[in-house]
Structure 1
Amino acid sequence: MRNATDEEGPVRSAREEALRAGAPATDPGVGVPTGTVARRLGVSPTTIRSWERRYGIGPSHRGPGRHRRWSPEDISLLDEMCRLTARGIPPAEAARSAAQGAHRTSDDGPLPARPATAGEPAAARSAPEPAHHPRPGGSRAMPLGTVRPECRGLARAAVRLDGPEVAEILRGAVDALGPVRAWTEVMMPALRAAGRKWAADGEQYVEVEHLLSWHVSAALRTAAVAPVRYREASPVLLAAMPGEQHTLPLEAVAAGMAVHGLPYRMLGAAVPPRALLDAVTRLGPSAVLLWAQSRATADPHLAREVGSASWGTAGARLDTLVATVGPGWNRHEPLTGLACPRTLEAALDLVHRAVAARAPSAADPPERKGAPCSPNG
């Protein structure tokens, strides 16, 4: 017998009413089992059973032996539940909303589809995917620990390879939290969980990690190249150390700088030493961020060379702030004369102050009158 709170009662009632509202009779043997539904949605079977027990989000029919059999309408209801909880809506409220949506659909026909993502046909969102064509994904949800609801929803969408939903969650996270916090609290934990699953299960989760990485980079780069007015100051140079291919954290910093109107130049992955030193002397940057993900790519000697570089006319040489950023530097001794921020938030604050110090007027706001300019132009 269910132990339901007063809040859960209306949820069950709405669900039961929706099922009574003209739903066609279905053969109890028709439908898919809970494990198949869980794989499709990127959640665990335990989560689905918990939603059924607490909020009445259960299958319309059961097969012999009380085995749950989920119809396409049932799966559509669970899919909506996943989308709502992924955006931070409490499960009880999400269950009520999903059940009410199912009731409106049965009374008035299908609900209008949400706007399609760029490049996605509008019809792709107009109806639930048939139950006999489950979306590919892992055999179980990725373990995440204690994370934000957006991160959990992002991981679920990635497991079921729902690219449009991944993109939508990422856009919302960047808008709500800012690029750096979105990276730290939403994107990075999901990517780490995908990486752990990849390492544990071999090739099974490569597609999940690749899809997620692509969309994370797209979200960050979209924010980084948005047309804004940049402060009139020497730019900040962002570069990964030679041999370093991981640049998503640098892309998060670049996007964070764009949000604050701080000019930057992004050199990206694996910048050769000569090219890096040449860029420093040519640009005369306000600051240089040197990213290293692993200890093997962190090169203290090159970092010192960058820190000793100077430019300008004789007698008026200028020095730059050089900061070593990333976990690859953590196993090295701090380098004298160089900044060593431990987090991306600290690095962003550091370069913000460096740019302000080089600006014509440190009191001027980041957004200035005049035509927008490109951070990399």
Structure 2
Amino acid sequence: MRRKEGPMAEAAHAITTGAVARRLGVSPTTVRSWDQRYGIGPAVRANGKHRRWAPGDIAMLEEMCRLTAAGVPPGEAARAARATHGGPGAAAPTGPPQNRDAPQTSQTPQTPQTPQTPSPSPRGRQPGSGNGLPLGNVTPECRGLARAAVRLDGPAMESLLEQVVRDYGLVAAWEQVMAPALHAVGRKWASSDDRYVEVEHLLSWHVSTALRRRAVTSPGPFDATNPVVLACVPAEAHTLPLEALAAGLAERGLPYRMFGGAVPVEALIAVVRRSGPAAVVLWSQARSTAAHALATCVADTASGVRGARTTPLVVLAGPGWAGRGAGTGFLRPTGLREALDAILHLYEGLGGGGRRGQGEDPTGF
């Protein structure tokens, strides 16, 4: 337990609020707010006024950071941190804090076919709960991921992402935790004169790692022929949505080939001719990158032996394709789940071999 040497002895090694904030990767305002709102403050103040954080106080703050990153509401996290580290008003710990909104642990059995879905917090957006990010009404898991990202806490992000994918499945984890956190960081970056770029890079890396790990640990494809080709259009470098789709295809045992960002036109046409894909997914993040002439060219590119040539179904994915005339014969899913369902239906209808269905023209995305 802390304070064995006495408060005054620990105070000799105390540091300022600014220094402890830099150490934890949060803002000094957040540290002061935790002290004022939840009693997570130093036991001793210099001259009775200024905060000075001793090693035991910092340990309590570190526990507060760990719990909030896991999605525990700040009030419950503060009570648990005080109980664990003997802070002011501490009560004897009676076990881990109970958070009804937090994801279920592995001790709770779940049916793999119908994973539960995280629900948005009924409290809506809480002041300071996103560490400055414009989150809105999101799930506690998304809020915890955003907090960990702002603190540049890689281990916390890795642990939380692994848990939500395991507990809720890939689609729910992407749509309700990963994507909202990425969008919030992107909005903050765009409105803050390039601040938070380091947050966006680290969060993207950990999301990408979680998605690829899911892809590699999923069952192998039932058929290596006629794969789904995943590629960004030539002027597009955003690959994370395609990585989510790749992980979802792997979960369902569907073959795919990921070619990543900014694939040149000539390379994309060569891929179609050489691999004979059942479908080609073209991702465009912005309208300036969407290329309908390219989509038409890919849709008309044949593969296979003479006399039995076939063409792929082209899937236009991403907001860049919205509001533009794409013609007929293209699939336009509105999200990850719809894209996966449509591609699975394509394979089921063609016995796994995978060939293009004509005349499909859904709207959306």
Please indicate the TM-score interval, normalised by the length of the shorter structure. Answer: 0.7 to 0.9
Deviations 1:185-229 (A, max 9, x none): 223333333334434444543322222222222222222222523
Measure the CA separation in 2 of the matches of 1:338 and 1:72. Answer: 61
Deviations 1:256-288 (A, max 9, x none): 111222211111111122221222232222221
Deviates more, 1:74-83 or 1:298-307: 74-83
1:61 aligns with 2:60: no
Asked whether the 8 Å contact 2:15–2:52 carries over to 1, the reply is yes
Q: Return closer, same or farther for 1:284/1:23 CA change in 2, 3 Å cut-off.
A: farther
Which residue in 2 is equivalent to 1:121?
A: none
Q: Which has the higher contact order (CA 8 A, sep 6+)?
A: 1
Which residue in 1 is equivalent to 2:67?
A: 84
Q: Report the 3-state secondary structure (helix = DSSP H, G, I; strand = E; otherwise coil) of the residue aligned with 1:225.
A: helix
What is the letter of the counterpart of residue 80 of structure 1? E
1:29, CA displacement in angstroms?
A: 7.7
1:241 aligns with 2:224: no
Measure the CA separation in 2 of the matches of 1:182 and 1:190. Answer: 11
1:70, CA displacement in angstroms?
A: 2.1
Q: Return closer, same or farther for 1:181/1:73 CA change in 2, 3 Å cut-off.
A: same
Which residue in 2 is equivalent to 1:293?
A: 285
Asked whether the 8 Å contact 1:287–1:355 carries over to 2, the reply is no
Measure the CA separation in 2 of the matches of 1:286 and 1:280. Answer: 9
Q: Which among 342, 350, 361 is matched to residue 358 of structure 1?
A: 350
Measure the CA separation in 2 of the matches of 1:19 and 1:72. Answer: 8
Structure 1 gap ranges (5+): 1-17, 105-139, 363-377
Deviations 1:334-373 (A, max 9, x none): 43110111212221221121222233599xxxxxxxxxxx
What is the letter of the counterpart of residue 340 of structure 1? R
What is the letter of the counterpart of residue 214 of structure 2? A
Which residue in 2 is equivalent to 1:262?
A: 254
Which residue in 2 is equivalent to 1:75?
A: 58
Q: Return closer, same or farther for 1:57/1:180 CA change in 2, 3 Å cut-off.
A: same
* Within-5 A mapping of 1:91-130: 91-103=74-86
Deviates more, 1:214-223 or 1:21-30: 21-30
Asked whether the 8 Å contact 1:231–1:359 carries over to 2, the reply is no
Q: Return closer, same or farther for 1:29/1:198 CA change in 2, 3 Å cut-off.
A: farther
Q: Return closer, same or farther for 1:193/1:90 CA change in 2, 3 Å cut-off.
A: closer
Q: Return closer, same or farther for 1:313/1:204 CA change in 2, 3 Å cut-off.
A: closer
* Within-5 A mapping of 1:1-377: 23-26=6-9, 31-43=14-26, 47-53=30-36, 55-64=38-47, 66-103=49-86, 141-202=132-193, 204-226=195-217, 228-232=219-223, 234-360=226-352
Measure the CA separation in 2 of the matches of 1:205 and 1:349. Answer: 35
Q: How many residues align?
A: 310
Taking structure 1 as the reference length, the TM-score comes to 0.72
Measure the CA separation in 2 of the matches of 1:25 and 1:287. Answer: 69
Measure the CA separation in 1 of the matches of 2:18 and 2:269. Answer: 56
Q: Please, what is the CA RMSD of the aligned residues?
A: 3.0
Q: Return closer, same or farther for 1:102/1:29 CA change in 2, 3 Å cut-off.
A: closer
Q: Report the 3-state secondary structure (helix = DSSP H, G, I; strand = E; otherwise coil) of the residue aligned with 1:238.
A: strand
Q: Report the 3-state secondary structure (helix = DSSP H, G, I; strand = E; otherwise coil) of the residue aligned with 1:143.
A: coil
Q: Report the 3-state secondary structure (helix = DSSP H, G, I; strand = E; otherwise coil) of the residue aligned with 1:25.
A: helix
Measure the CA separation in 2 of the matches of 1:345 and 1:171. Answer: 20
What is the letter of the counterpart of residue 69 of structure 1? R
Deviations 1:150-207 (A, max 9, x none): 2222222222322222222222232233334333322333333333443444454332
Asked whether the 8 Å contact 2:71–2:143 carries over to 1, the reply is no
Measure the CA separation in 2 of the matches of 1:141 and 1:70. Answer: 23
Percent identity between matched residues is: 53
Asked whether the 8 Å contact 2:3–2:56 carries over to 1, the reply is no
Measure the CA separation in 2 of the matches of 1:75 and 1:141. Answer: 22
Measure the CA separation in 1 of the matches of 2:5 and 2:55. Answer: 15
Q: Return closer, same or farther for 1:32/1:193 CA change in 2, 3 Å cut-off.
A: farther
Measure the CA separation in 2 of the matches of 1:354 and 1:234. Answer: 12
Structure 2 gap ranges (5+): 88-130, 355-365
Q: Report the 3-state secondary structure (helix = DSSP H, G, I; strand = E; otherwise coil) of the residue aligned with 1:176.
A: helix
What is the letter of the counterpart of residue 192 of structure 1? H
Q: Report the 3-state secondary structure (helix = DSSP H, G, I; strand = E; otherwise coil) of the residue aligned with 1:302.
A: helix
1:250, CA displacement in angstroms?
A: 0.3
Asked whether the 8 Å contact 1:230–1:262 carries over to 2, the reply is yes
Asked whether the 8 Å contact 2:215–2:250 carries over to 1, the reply is yes
Measure the CA separation in 2 of the matches of 1:27 and 1:165. Answer: 28
Measure the CA separation in 2 of the matches of 1:205 and 1:90. Answer: 24
Taking structure 2 as the reference length, the TM-score comes to 0.74
Asked whether the 8 Å contact 2:236–2:262 carries over to 1, the reply is yes
Q: Return closer, same or farther for 1:218/1:100 CA change in 2, 3 Å cut-off.
A: same
